[in-house]
Amino acid sequence: MKDNIIRTARILFFLATGLFFLFISFRDVPLEILISGLRSARYEWVLLSLSFATLAFLSRAFRWVLLIEPLGYRPSVKNTFYALMTGYLANFILPRIGEITRCGSLNRTDRIPADSLLGTVITERIADLILLLLLAAAAFVINFDLFGRFLYGNIIQPFFTWIFSLLDIPLGLLGLIITAIALIMLLYRILAVWLRNFRLYRRVEEALKRVGGGMKSVIRMDKKLWFLYHTIFIWLMYFLMTWAVFMALPATAMLNAGDALFILVIGGLGMAAPVQGGFGTYHWIVTLGLGIYGIPREDGLVFATLSHESQAILMILLGSFSMLMVFLKWKRAQSSPVTNGQ
Q: What DSSP string describes 82-104?
A: HHHHHHHHHTTTSTTHHHHHHHH
pLDDT exceeds cutoff 60 at 115:
yes
pLDDT tens digit string along 256-314?
A: 898 899 899 989 888 887 787 888 889 988 998 898 888 999 999 999 999 999 999 99
- Which pLDDT belongs to residue 342? 45
pLDDT band at 86 (very low <50, low <70, confident <90, very high): very high
Q: What is the pTM of this model?
A: 0.78
- Which pLDDT belongs to residue 20? 81
- Which pLDDT belongs to residue 341? 45
CA atoms within 13 A on the CB side of 270: 26
Residue 94 phi/psi, 5° resolution? -145, 125
**C-alpha dist (Å) from residue 136 to 70, 131, 144, 299:** 31, 8, 11, 24
pLDDT tens digit string along 222-243?
A: 788 899 999 999 999 999 999 9
- Segment 319-330 shows an average pLDDT of 94
Q: What is the DSSP letter of 83?
A: H
Return the percentage of the chain with pLDDT > 70, whole number: 74
**CA–CA distance, 128 with 237 (Å, rounded to integer):** 13
- Which pLDDT belongs to residue 271? 87
**CA–CA distance, 333 with 339 (Å, rounded to integer):** 9
The rounded mean pLDDT for the chain is 82
| Contact criterion met (CB below 8 Å) for 56 and 234 | yes
pLDDT tens digit string along 11-66?
A: 677 777 777 877 888 888 888 888 999 999 999 999 999 999 999 999 999 999 99
**How many residues are there in the chain?**
342
pLDDT band at 219 (very low <50, low <70, confident <90, very high): low
**CA–CA distance, 68 with 116 (Å, rounded to integer):** 9
- Which pLDDT belongs to residue 336? 65
